Amino acid sequence: MPISRNTSEGVAPVPASGTVHWIGTGLSTGPSGLGLLCDRAERVVLWDRTAERAAERLAALGLAGRAEVRTLADDALQDTVRAGDVVVSMLPAAEHPRLLCLAVDRRAHFACTSYVSDAIAEQAAVAAEAGVVVLTEAGLDPGIDHLMAHRLIERARVAVGDTAESVDFTSYCGGIPAVPNDFRYRFSWAPYGVLAALGSPARHIDEGRERTVVRPWEATRIHRLGGEDFEVYPNRDSMPFVAHYGIPDGWQLRTFVRGTLRNAGWRQAWSDVFSTVTTGEQERIRSLAKDLAARYPTTDADRDRVVLSVGLDVRAAGGERWQGAYLLDLTGDETESAMARLVSLPLALGITRMLAGALPAGLNRAAESADEAARWMEFLDKAGLRSTFADSVPAPHREKA
């Protein structure tokens, strides 16, 4: 299949074949997202360690017979994937570059929900030249939070303009127990990953200054939503998203932070965990992670809750002010966890956009514009993932937890 070129927009995407290869069947693979693809794609192939395990998972999701099942092996995948197919990685983030490399080699498109790593960005540049679409950060966080951010920033620009003397942007998301336990958390994914993330410095803007917090939990603050208190702290590096979200150069940022949300009382409940993480001793941290997983697992009887809050407060020198915030608060049920639904459904929507030829070749994140974000959010609302919008928000709560 020759590569077609569009002289005004670069290499045109390889036409989608209609086949989707969904690789991995972990806790983020929900019946909502996978079911949408079974409805929309011409063919869905579910890959797992064994075909039998894939079939069992498909049946557990209520989708028996809706997709083909295969045993995951590199040779089998290489032999099966064709140009224009979509390769979806639901494996750990470390596996994404390998699968993206395979996809580019086969001139197949690629999708995942994880953050863009250096390895993914490098491969995506190669993909762009091959007409391959790479969709990343298309789940919950990152994903739905991007949609909300684009929508808020566009509304504020229309109301206030591209010059403002004080801007506060906050984005917090967390998967928490619907009924808080004494630990204020239950593990539904690799506990070591949770603890390792705490050991990673967080960069953000606070009180008009760029700051790097070596121990993110030390920056924990109270965040009040709908009369309920939560605890929030900065996570990862927020700074690249100033450009990704299209923040005008004329906006003076007082606050810009993307972070994690937890139940009130979390910092106190985790004090012993922080002591271990601070040592940096990997053997001790892994041992603690194993112990915590055994003590605080998510069982079939437990219900998870996801809370996502994105807010923007813009004040212009002339006195004009615009405030707005989105809040999404969802509790899982016996058919599907909130996390699985909120990760797999937006991802599946992004894949349908790929199948329709609506995304350009190269690197894409969930909705790169306000218009595209509006389209995604309208779909999610109709699918039951309805967020509420308020045109006034309190100033960032600065009380430390």
Kind of pairing, strands 163-177 and 5-6? unpaired
Q: Measured between alpha carbons, how far is 354 from 334 in angstroms, rounded to an integer? A: 31
Instruction: Determine contact, residues 347/138, Cβ cutoff 8 Å.
Output: yes
In order, the DSSP letters of 147-184 are HHHHHHHHHHHHHH-SEEEEEEEEEEEEEEESS--TTS
Marked catalytic residue, from 85, 141, 145, 313? 141
Instruction: Determine contact, residues 111/313, Cβ cutoff 8 Å.
Output: no
Instruction: Determine contact, residues 267/217, Cβ cutoff 8 Å.
Output: yes
Q: Measured between alpha carbons, how far is 152 from 361 in angstroms, rounded to an integer? A: 27
Residue 268 CB: number of other CB atoms within 10 A?
A: 11
Map tokens 């992670």 to a residue: 289
Residue 3 CB: number of other CB atoms within 10 A?
A: 14
Torsion angle defined by CA atoms of residues 178, 184, 187 and 192, in that order, rounded to the nearest 10 degrees = 150
Q: Measured between alpha carbons, how far is 43 from 235 in angstroms, rounded to an integer? A: 38
Instruction: Determine contact, residues 343/33, Cβ cutoff 8 Å.
Output: yes
SS3 10: strand
Map tokens 């299949």 to a residue: 1
Q: Measured between alpha carbons, how far is 253 from 256 in angstroms, rounded to an integer? A: 7
- DSSP lists the bridge partners of residue 170 as 257, 311
The reply to whether 249 belongs to the active site is no
Q: Cβ neighbours of residue 94 under 8 Å, at least 6 residues apart?
A: none
Give the residue numbers marked as catalytic.
141
